[in-house]
Structure 1
Amino acid sequence: MLLPLSRAIAPDLDWRERCASTNTELVARAGSSRDLAVIATDTQTAGRGRLDRVWSAPSGTALAVSVLVRHDAGLASAGDGVFATHHSDAMGERTAPDPRRLGWLPLIAGVAMTRAVQTLGVGRAGLKWPNDVLVHDRKLSGILTELTSIGVVIGAGLNLSMTQPDLPVPTATSLVIEGVEADDALTDRALAAYLGELLPLVAQWRAADLELLPSIVVPHLQTLGRAVRVERPGLPVTLGTAMRLDDDGRLIVQPSAQGSALIAVAAGDVTHLRYE
């Protein structure tokens, strides 16, 4: 596939006609890949979602794209607190991002996808913490980030041309269902829209003070103020209200149970609830 719009934004783009998992491929070759290298396909045969869930779609109907954000690409920013120095007896000094900053990267990727689908014509799209893009609480896109010693691989899946019978679950949707034209350039337009938002946002994420990151994320976040169900590994289900984000990008939830203290959710499944 030629992808002229996308290649103009990301020249180091590896398009695959078929791929088991773009994230798995990019994680495996991270050490030999340049910063912001991209692998993408519209036919992913062994895709993974969060918590190792299977992510599948009919051939040619969904975009899967992974981008490598290398740790060492920000070395020039090491003096301003963006990077923390760690030591290794085998390797000497090496650098890695501040762990607090890493917590914001999935949210930043979610903002990029939200903005991208809005520019494609889905103005009602918004971000569900931490990294699902929804339209009226129906999932249009999901993000999966994987941390490696080389950098972070940001994987994104976007439903392109699925029709109602193609949807994996009734709570999903696609660009075409939401009114975007299914022309021959849809894949390129969607990929270019996402990369065109993500790459500048990664640059902001690297350079901005931590205190400024909420101002990028919160305007797109639909979770705050909502009644939510929170499922965390090894812990009881919590019902409550999403109140705010903390300095690390964690979701602060006020449980419904009387007298319960606020909880900070770093990882887990968050479902928006509707009380009739």
Structure 2
Amino acid sequence: MKHNIEKISELLVPSKKFSGDRIYYFEEIESTNSWLLAQNKTPDQTPVRIDGRICLAERQTSGKGRRGKSWIAPASSSVLISIGWGLQESSSQGLSLISGLAVVQSLHELGVTGVKLKWPNDVIADGKKLGGILVEISGLDCVIGVGINVSIPPSFDRQIDQPWTDLYSLGCQVDRDQLVAAIALNHERFLSRYMLTGFASFATRWNALHVYQNQVIEVVSAGDQWSGSALGVDESGALLVECSGSIRRVIGGEVSIRAKTALTENDDKMS
């Protein structure tokens, strides 16, 4: 069943940021993130703020993931949403982690429990990928793309190169329109606080949801590969890993982490 924009609009009434007339809905689009980012300039290159706009789609033909990966999902089987947010400075420090917290809160409100987060941008349930996040910035405009698997046909399993799950497999019958509204409202709630306090006030909460907390992980970056014990994130959102008696800070970029016992690399992917 396709999204009901009128229903979503009604659910967004409590918001001071988002509204139904600022939802841009497509049955098919290349990428919700790319489309929304492209709206921040007019044809004559005049800047236009995309703060408070939402791009929603049933299907993406070129869904984007972190590190050049793709997001694969058939039509109307996921929640594919990109949220525009205005920044005070051109920095994304900790933003994907804040988004993860907002997503987990949204799922919890709809009865989905046991959801964890994998640094920096994966949503995990039952040890498998349930969804992902992609943050992109243009000037002072930020676009946060969120993809959540709702009911993916088993036939798509061969197209996804890592362990994955969806809400249906978890026994959760979630209304996609309610989930869209919850994601928007909780991003407004969490990001408004983030703009005032930065990431520091969220670190403890994020670490409580960290799927690899105090576990041995492997870190792969620019041809370098090493292992250590994941200690969680610091006040800036960097991942702290204890290695050979010292603590190393892992920051964003071309970095992938995985459980030490994994046989294959579970690359991060996002909407």
TM-score when normalising by structure 2: 0.82
Deviation track 1:162-199 (CA, whole Å, cap 9, x = no partner) reads: 143333245101111111226xxx22122112112111
Q: Contact (CA 8 Å) 1:37, 1:68: kept in 2 or not?
A: yes
Residues 235 and 119 from structure 1, CA distance in 2 versus in 1: closer, same or farther, beyond 3 angstroms? same
Instruction: Report whether the alignment pairs 1:200 with 2:189.
Output: yes
Q: Contact (CA 8 Å) 1:14, 1:39: kept in 2 or not?
A: yes
Aligned match of 1:38 in 13, 32, 54? 54
Q: 1:17 & 1:239 partners in 2: Cα distance?
A: 43
Q: How does 1:1-276 map to 2 (within 5 A)?
A: 1-8=3-10, 9=12, 10-11=18-19, 12-30=22-40, 31-71=47-87, 83=88, 96=89, 99=91, 102-167=92-157, 168-169=160-161, 171-181=163-173, 186-208=175-197, 210-232=199-221, 234-255=222-243, 258=244, 261-267=246-252, 268-274=255-261
Structure label with greater radius of gyration: 1
Q: Contact (CA 8 Å) 1:163, 1:177: kept in 2 or not?
A: no
Structure 1, gaps ≥5 residues long:
72-82, 84-95
Q: CA deviation at 1:220?
A: 2.4
Q: Contact (CA 8 Å) 2:30, 2:61: kept in 1 or not?
A: yes
Q: CA deviation at 1:244?
A: 3.0
Number of residues of Structure 1 aligned to a counterpart in Structure 2: 242
Q: Contact (CA 8 Å) 2:50, 2:141: kept in 1 or not?
A: no
Deviation track 1:94-144 (CA, whole Å, cap 9, x = no partner) reads: xx15x4xx3111100011111222222320111111111101220001001
Q: CA deviation at 1:243?
A: 1.2
Superposed CA RMSD: 2.0
Structure 2, gaps ≥5 residues long:
13-17, 41-46, 263-271
What code does the residue aligned with 2:48 have?
S
Q: Contact (CA 8 Å) 2:56, 2:80: kept in 1 or not?
A: yes
Q: 1:119 & 1:17 partners in 2: Cα distance?
A: 27
Q: 2:198 & 2:136 partners in 1: Cα distance?
A: 23
Deviation track 1:33-76 (CA, whole Å, cap 9, x = no partner) reads: 441211011211110111011111112212211111112xxxxx
Q: Contact (CA 8 Å) 1:117, 1:123: kept in 2 or not?
A: yes
TM-score when normalising by structure 1: 0.80
Q: 2:169 & 2:176 partners in 1: Cα distance?
A: 15
Q: Percent of aligned positions with the same letter in both sequences?
A: 24
Q: Contact (CA 8 Å) 1:163, 1:174: kept in 2 or not?
A: no
Q: Contact (CA 8 Å) 2:57, 2:81: kept in 1 or not?
A: yes
Name segments (4+ residues, structure 1) moved above 4 Å: none
SS at 2:148's partner residue?
strand
Q: CA deviation at 1:252?
A: 0.8
Q: CA deviation at 1:274?
A: 4.6
Q: Contact (CA 8 Å) 1:4, 1:188: kept in 2 or not?
A: no
Bigger RCO (CA 8 Å, 6+ sep): 2
Q: CA deviation at 1:205?
A: 0.6
